[in-house]
Amino acid sequence: MKIKVAIVQSEAIAGDTEGNIKKVEELLNEKCSGRLDLIIFPELWTIGWDCEHFNRFSEEIFSSKILAFLKRTALKYQSNIIGGSSIIRNKSGKDRNTAIILNRNAEIISTYDKYHLFSHRGQSEGTYLEEGENGLIVNTDIGKIGISICYDIRFPELFRGYAFKGTDIMVNMAAWPKAFTEEYITLAKARAIENQNIFICSCLTGKINESFDFSGNSVVFDYKGKIIKKAEFEETCINVQIDLDEMKQYRTQMPILKDTKIQYKIMEK
C-alpha cells in the first residue's frame, strides 16, 4: 500500500488561535491538493509553547476552534488527521496537552494526552497541565499508528510497546528547541530503526515571543532510518508518498522484533 502524507511545519503566533488556523489553512491550500491519506500537525501549533499561558487558552474539545478546523480539513482532503496538539480541558476540569485524531469522515477516532510532561531547564509544563494516563495506537484504513508528543520521544519503552502491538507508523508532534535539533533527529531515527516503523515528526519552527527558537526539521524516516523527506527551518508542508508494503517485506527478511525478549534479566556482580 502506498500512502500520501502531508506534514505541516509552522511558526505559531503566541496565543492567536484564529490567526494560526488561518495561516496553516493557507499553507495547506498552497502545498496540497486532491485526496490525502494522512495529515499531521505540530504540537501546540494553535497557541505556541508558553507554559504560563497554557490554562488561559484551554478549550472544551467539542466547542474548540481547532476541532472545527480539523473537521473541515479532513473532509476537504478526504484524509485521516493527526491534529497536532492543543490545550484541552477534560471532564474533570483539568487541562491537558491533547492531540485530536480524526478519520476521513471527520469523526473523532480518539484523543491522546501527552504522557510525559517536560518540566526541566526552566520549563514547567507539569505545573500547569495534567499528564496523560496511557499511550495510544489508532486503527485507521492505512494501518495502525502510534501517537506521541514531543518529550515522549525520549522514552523508547513507549515505542517498543507500540511496535509489539503491530504499528506500521509512529508519529511525534513537537515544539522542540532549536538548540537540541540534532538530538531530536537522532532520537527519531533511532525509534524508526529499532522498531522497523515509519517515523514521522511534525515540529514547530521559528520563535515564540521573540525568545524561544524551535527546531523545525520536520522529517519522515523509513523503517531503516533513511530520510524519505525533511524540511529545514521554513514554514512549509511536506508532501511525501510512503510504501508500506516495502516495509512489511523488509520485516519478513529481518524479523528483529521477534528476537526481542519480553523481559531482560540483568546480572550484576
Average pLDDT over residues 94-117: 98
pLDDT, tens digit, for every residue of 239-254? 999 999 999 999 999 9
Residue 48 has pLDDT above 70, yes or no: yes
Helices 17-31, 65-77: axis angle to 10 degrees equals 10
**Whole-number percent of the chain with pLDDT over 70:** 99
Provide the H-helix boundaries in the chain.
17-31, 65-77, 125-128, 156-164, 181-195, 244-253
Identify the pLDDT of residue 210: 72
Does pTM top 0.85 for this prediction?
Answer: yes
pLDDT band at 151 (very low <50, low <70, confident <90, very high): very high
Q: Count CB neighbours of 35 within 10 A.
A: 11
| % of residues, the chain, pLDDT over 90 | 91
* pLDDT reported for residue 120: 80
CA atoms within 13 A on the CB side of 93: 0
Residue 123: pLDDT over 80: no
In this prediction, residue 119 carries a pLDDT of 82
Mean pLDDT of 141-164: 98
pLDDT in tens, 57-72: 999 999 999 999 999 9
- Fold for the domain defined by 2-259: Nitrilase/N-carbamoyl-D-aminoacid amidohydrolase (3.60.110)
Rounded CA-CA distance 24/145 in Å is 23
Q: How confident is the model at residue 122 (pLDDT cuts 50, 70, 90)?
A: low
CA 245/CA 224 separation, integer angstroms: 14
**For residue 50, is pLDDT > 90?**
no
- Is the pLDDT assigned to residue 130 strictly greater than 80? yes
CA distance 233 to 230: 10
Which secondary-structure segment (H or E) carries 227? strand 227-230
For residue 21, the model assigns a pLDDT of: 98
The pLDDT assigned to 64 comes to: 96
Question: Residues 157-211: pLDDT tens digits?
Answer: 999 999 999 999 999 999 999 999 999 999 999 999 999 999 999 999 999 877 7
Q: What is the mean pLDDT of the chain?
A: 95
| Of 44-48, 122-126, 181-185, 258-262, minimum mean pLDDT range | 122-126
DSSP 171-219: EEEE--BGGGHHHHHHHHHHHHHHHT-EEEEEE-EEEETTTEEEE---E
Res 150 pLDDT > 90: yes
DSSP class of 9: E
Rounded distance, CA 201 to CA 71, Å? 22
